[in-house]
Amino acid sequence: MKFKRPTRVLLAVASGAALALSFPDYDLWPLAWFSVGMLVLASVGSRPGESPLYGFLHGAVFYPVCVPWIDTVMRQYGNLDLWTSAGILGLMAVAGGLLCSLFSWGVARASRKSIAFACLLAPFLWVALEFVRTHLPYIGFPWNLAGYAAIKSLALLQVTTVTGIYGLSFLIAAYGSLFAFAVLTDTRRAWRTVVMATAALLLIALGGRYLVPKETPRFTAHLVQTNFPQSERYPADWLQIHAGELDELARISITAAKQNPAGPELIVWPEVPAPFSLQDPAFAARAVRIARESSAYFLVGVVEDRQDAQRNWLFYNSAVLLDPLGKRIYTYDKIHLVPFGEYVPLRQWLTFAGRLTADISDFTPGTVYTLGEIPGGKFGTFICYEAIFPGEIRRFAASGAQLLINISNDGWFGRSAAPIQHLMMSRVRAVESRRWLLRDTNNGFTAAIDPYGRMVAELPTDVRGELDAPYDFKSNLTLYVRFGDWFAWLCVIATAVLLFFALKPGATLPLSETKRQKKNG
């Protein structure tokens, strides 16, 4: 079956929209299973000069529909006008479209050998490009990879303990490619295979959840949701102005910890939503008092300032742990900073973004995946944006962390889809490592997540309060923790091999399209 150009354009646009609509706040997740297939349909048999257009259209539609909150954040906190912020979101769409154009080009070239070859290549190429998207220098942004659309199924989610999130992306892309193959060849065997694959996925997705184990945690942490309004700047007397609210938060923290004196007690405050620094004597005194009066370990997000060997002042977005005596025993400095939020990549060349870059803090990235320890075991802390990078978070478990703690300030996003999308991706980090995850935020979503991805406790959004969050320590290592992104690298290698045959003149395949048609006809 061959499609005319207008139909291909429509399929490409629909594929980008379908994938975007699979994620919160739309939550039309079944569309994801057909989104890649629609792009394969648009690409197979297209001319070499036009094939990149279809992937570009996919990406150009996907980003504005899926992450429109980026425009809002830049206008509200970056002091940009409507047209400038829309233009930056448009540049993101262009960059994503260019990456996707490689997908449609590769599928189109492979289809010159056979439809079957193109559909075989598609899932490997899709995952390879997601892997590239994750690791692009400075601008890597693996937000809402296709696989996240499958995590509504608790059973399918467990695949990530072996492959990471890329295994679910492969599953979605493979199903879409199979569907495209059935449409293009229109044979009884192909459609029977689609029906069987659909039945198997439904059986696993709907029935498999009953086979996922449940855990009984031994400990309870106290996650405090501070619920401070987001602000671009803080006056020098901010702590004095908000002294009453800080007193309230101290009371909430201490009271919660004293309810269960059997311990060990752990109090967690989120990524710094205000000018919290242990270099500030007033805040340091508050933090020490909370730890001592509660007889608890106190993990809090702060801004750290330190001098380097050249006596230059460096600033870090950090998490610090105080012991029950108020002594500082652990520090983690955020390693993966937010580009254009916590630092400006290539600032010397981005003079056109002067207003944006002028207001952005120049944080220094940390370098060590440090672990903290409390009675019961060791933990690793990751901060906000770091949650979307699977290969980085697994390093904590690989280094010996038996518990994961994610502190975040999602107040920047308002009540857009971003906070729940962020939570969705954090859940997968827990399953990949098979660890309990304590997630504490400024204004939501604050939750406890078990090693299988269940939300076992959650606070309402936009309230100040405390969550009794169950947790435990686990030491087993999943295949993903042991071997990292082995599956993604396998897809990269498979893509290179398959593209070699697609591009090599005269290369033949074991089963040509003509033979396949005769065999299935």
Can 334 be counted among the known catalytic residues?
Answer: yes
Tell me the average pLDDT across 120-149.
94
| pLDDT number for residue 40 | 97
Percent of the chain whose predicted confidence (pLDDT) is above 70:
92
Can 384 be counted among the known catalytic residues?
Answer: yes
| pLDDT number for residue 287 | 96
Alpha-carbon span 335 to 337, nearest angstrom: 6
DSSP three-state, residue 10: helix
pLDDT over 50 at 310, yes or no? yes
- In this structure, are 31 and 77 located in the same domain? yes
Report the chain's mean pLDDT, rounded to a whole number: 90
Tokens coding 493: 């290698």
Among 164-178, 233-247, 283-297, 395-409, the range scoring the smallest mean pLDDT is 233-247
Q: Give pLDDT tens digits for 323-360.
A: 999 999 999 999 988 877 777 776 666 655 555 545 55
| pLDDT number for residue 516 | 47
- In this structure, are 236 and 306 located in the same domain? yes
Tokens coding 18: 């379908």
Tell me the average pLDDT across 94-103.
92
The total number of residues shown for the chain amounts to 521
Angle among Cα 81, 85, 89 to the nearest 5 degrees reads 165
Residue of 100, 119, 265, 334 marked catalytic:
334
| pLDDT number for residue 508 | 55
- In this structure, are 455 and 306 located in the same domain? yes
Q: CB-based contacts of 2: which residues, under 8 Å, 6+ apart?
A: 45
- In this structure, are 56 and 100 located in the same domain? yes
Q: Give pLDDT tens digits for 58-69.
A: 999 999 999 888
Higher-pLDDT residue of 507, 13: 13
Q: Give pLDDT tens digits for 165-220.
A: 999 999 999 999 999 999 999 999 999 999 999 999 999 998 998 999 999 999 99
- In this structure, are 154 and 37 located in the same domain? yes
Percent of the chain whose predicted confidence (pLDDT) is above 90:
73
- In this structure, are 490 and 476 located in the same domain? no
- In this structure, are 448 and 359 located in the same domain? yes
- In this structure, are 357 and 314 located in the same domain? yes
- DSSP codes of every residue in 234-297: --TTHHHHTHHHHHHHHHHHHHHHHT-TTS--EEE--S-SS---TTSHHHHHHHHHHHHHHTSE
| pLDDT number for residue 250 | 96
| pLDDT number for residue 92 | 83
Q: Give pLDDT tens digits for 238-286.
A: 888 989 999 999 999 999 999 876 667 899 999 987 789 999 999 999 9
Count up the domains in the chain and report the number: 2
Q: Within a 10 A sphere around the Cβ of 346, how many other Cβ atoms?
A: 10
Domain that holds residue 74: 5-211+485-520
Alpha-carbon span 385 to 388, nearest angstrom: 6
Q: Give pLDDT tens digits for 462-488.
A: 999 999 999 999 999 999 999 999 999
Can 113 be counted among the known catalytic residues?
Answer: no
| pLDDT number for residue 139 | 80
- In this structure, are 404 and 280 located in the same domain? yes
Higher-pLDDT residue of 50, 92: 50
Alpha-carbon span 93 to 370, nearest angstrom: 35
| pLDDT number for residue 79 | 64
- In this structure, are 237 and 139 located in the same domain? no
- In this structure, are 171 and 313 located in the same domain? no
| pLDDT number for residue 512 | 45
Tell me the average pLDDT across 110-124.
96
Domain boundary among 465, 481, 497: 481
CATH number for the domain harbouring residue 239: 3.60.110.10
- In this structure, are 119 and 203 located in the same domain? yes
Residue of 130, 271, 304, 432 marked catalytic:
271
Q: Give pLDDT tens digits for 412-428.
A: 787 889 999 999 999 99
pLDDT over 80 at 78, yes or no? no
What does the H/E/C string look like for 315-382?
EEEEEEEECCCCCEEEEEECCCCCECCCECCCCCCCHHHHHHHHCCCCECCCCCCCEEEECCEEEEEE
Counting other chains too, the contacts that 253-260 makes at CB distance below 8 Å and 24 or more residues apart are 253/222, 253/224, 253/290, 253/294, 253/296, 253/298, 253/466, 254/290, 254/293, 254/294, 256/222, 256/224, 256/466, 256/468, 257/222, 257/294, 257/295, 257/296, 258/294, 258/295, 260/220
Q: How are the residues of the chain apportioned to helix, strand and coil, as percentages rounded to the nearest 5?
A: 50, 15, 35
Is the whole-model pTM more than 0.85?
yes
Residue of 100, 119, 384, 491 marked catalytic:
384
| pLDDT number for residue 262 | 64
| pLDDT number for residue 91 | 81
| pLDDT number for residue 283 | 94
From first CA to last CA, the distance across the chain in angstroms is: 15
Give the model's confidence band at 521: pLDDT under 50 very low, under 70 low, under 90 confident, else very high: very low
Residue whose tokens read 């590769």: 106
